[in-house]
Structure 1
Amino acid sequence: MRLSTVILPDRRWSEGGRETWQRAEELGFHTAYTYDHLSWRTFRDGPWFGAVPTLTAAATVTSRMRLGTLVTSPNFRHPVTLAKELISLDDISGGRLTLGIGAGGSGFDATALLGDGQEPWTPRERADRFGEFVPLLDRLLTQDVVSYDGEHYSASEVRNIPGCVQRPRLPFAVAATGPRGLRLAARHGQAWVTTGDPKLFETGTPEESRAAVAGQIQRLGKACAEIDRDPAGLHKIMLTGFTPDRPLDSFDAFVDFAGSHAELGIDEIVVHWPIDGSVFAADLAVFEKIATDGLAQLS
């Protein structure tokens, strides 16, 4: 089991941002991720910085901890420009980058680039784009020269030399729960990401949530079987904060949560860095104890 954190890009680098990423490495987190959004929910009217510049800065002040996005989506990204940024960031970080990637939702990212009268993509349209986005990005990160003419994306003799530090490319952590997304995770992912079943967040129970995650893992296994891939080789990540559980309420609550999800097959737990006055508020002392001692209680 690995323990990681997600640090929202809501602080100026000179006003605590740098120190937070450095502290995450000191605490021993496996990976520190950040959200790749233009803005997000209750944070929309406050400070919010770009994911790639934030991770680039974090790469220069850390040396061991992996870095990543949770998650990047086609809502405002194009595979060609994204690939160039990822190759650069993988180089700057010395090969410590993981790309968390998903189809995107219906939040602010989905409408920020729309003109008057334009409707946001439907769930089916987002899935269609995601199904084209991921394979093209895979090619862009593994081949020196790529040309492609698709329904949603094009690339004309795009050069990405020298490619990623990590070979054949940096790892993808694919966030998905539907059948099409799970097939993409099985085919292109080095990891799979879930937040549980969003329908259970407010009215479900922890037991119902675990059952839902178990069902997702079972369906992921079937998607792997379709292409003769061993699902054991696909890392399984649980991003907390969106299930009925409250794993940061206490040290014991985290140990119970992590243990029960490890039994399901989850092998990485991601907890949000505490932010006072927000949905991610938590006791920093408890959070740090979880970071340093939490996983030891599972052995």
Structure 2
Amino acid sequence: MADTDVPRLRLSTVILPVHRWADGGRSTWQRAEELGFHAAYTYDHLSWRNFRDRPWYGAIPTLTAAAAVTERLRLGTLVTSPNFRHPVALAKELITLDEISGGRVTLGIGSGGTGFDATALGHDAWAPRERADRFAEFLRLLDLLLTEGGTAGVSYQGDFYSAREVRNIPGCVQRPRLPFAVAGTGRRGMRLAARHGQAWVTTGEPAAAGRGAEGPDGFWAVLARQVDRLDAVCDETGREPESLTRVLLDFEPLTSVAAFVDHAGRCAELGFTEIVLHWPVPESQFAADLRVFEEIATEGLTQVNR
């Protein structure tokens, strides 16, 4: 698709890694491509919330398998974090995935939270300040590893991460490296998005906004403030605001095509360029009518972009 043909608003999905590959896993990723989604992402966790006692598979192997059974669909994490990863090992996995997929990978990345991932390696969860410091250093080193990991190698010594003559040959298929979609709603996270990201990701803080904590339009008020803050941060850092794709990882219930069109239209008015919907998972917070979900994928975006 030529750049001039890119829709004003893109629609993507996030497929939780909860299905056995032979029993719904493969077919779901293939169906996402058939439905015309721009991208399909997956969560990069060791386990997540109320799925902790249910099947949950690794993100990178899942995306690698998805790359092998799709041709056009962009693939990625939403999001990876430093909680249980190191930039050196992650960089090698990412250039391999980018190669296998033919350059279809986007790395969604955030600072991580205080859930199960934060303590799975045996240490206490990091305090917010340390988590933010680690994230900044993690991004800086990962950027170096993916762009400058040629025959000279990358050496780095930071407060939390280090690398010694690390080579990533031949590098990413996408140049100068695969794109980063950086999640962050505070100024510091947004500055990292402006510096390292090709996209910025938010959930609109649904828990904090309470879908009405500030009245019926509380969610939209939160999103509007975040967008204004991002614009200000871009201005402060010399980044052209329009050059940063704005992605909403959406937790909005999917009830009808009409409701989606209204919801997506308001997102577009705020300047969002990509909405990511959760693929329905029965008996979970993401339970939804699959028929309605597929109608939204095939009909909803067309109506929004008229």
* Same structural fold, with TM-score higher than 0.5 when normalized by the shorter chain: yes
| Structure 1 alignment gaps of length 5 or more | none
User: Which of residues 192, 195, 209 in structure 2 aligns to 1:200?
Assistant: 209
Q: Determine which of 131, 139, 151 is the counterpart of 2:159.
A: 151
The CA distance in 1 between the partners of 2:216 and 2:203, in whole Å, is 13
Residue aligning to 1:285: 291
Q: What's the TM-score once normalised by structure 2's chain length?
A: 0.94
Which residue, out of 202, 226, 236, partners 1:216? 226
Matched residue of 1:212: which SS? helix
- Quote the residue 1:22 is aligned against: 30
The equivalent position to 1:273 in structure 2, one of 270, 279, 282, is: 279
Could you give the per-residue CA deviations for residues 6-53 of structure 1, whole angstroms, max 9, x where no partner exists? Answer: 000001101110000000000000000000000000100010000000
Distance 2:154 2:255 in 1: 49
Letter of the 2:296 counterpart: I
How far 1:253 moved relative to its partner? Answer: 1.1
CA contact (8 A) 2:15 2:278 kept: yes
The separation in 1 between residues aligned to 2:192 and 2:90, in whole angstroms, is: 18
Residue 55 of structure 1 pairs with residue 63 of structure 2: yes
- Structure 1, 37-46 or 191-200: larger mean CA deviation: 191-200
How many residue pairs were aligned? 292
- Work out the CA distance in 2 between the residues paired with 1:147 and 1:220: 32
Normalising by the residue count of structure 1, what TM-score does the alignment of the two structures yield? Answer: 0.96
1:127 partner amino acid: A
Query: Which position in structure 2 is the counterpart of 1:106?
Result: 114
| 2:195 equivalent among 172, 178, 187 | 187
Amino acid at match of 1:265: G
C-alpha displacement of 1:227:
2.2
Q: What is the alpha-carbon distance in structure 1 between the residues aligned to residue 226 and residue 177 of structure 2?
A: 26
Match of 2:140 in 1: 135
Q: Please show how residues 90-101 of structure 1 align to structure 2 within 5 Å.
A: 90-101=98-109
SS in 2 for 1:294: helix
**1:66-77 equivalence runs, <5 A:** 66-77=74-85
Runs of 4+ in 1 over 4 A off after TM superposition: none
Structure 2 spans left out of the alignment, 5+ residues: 1-8
Aligned CA RMSD, in angstroms, stands at 1.0
Question: Per-residue deviation at 1:206?
Answer: 5.0
SS state at 2:31 partner? helix
SS at match of 1:16: helix
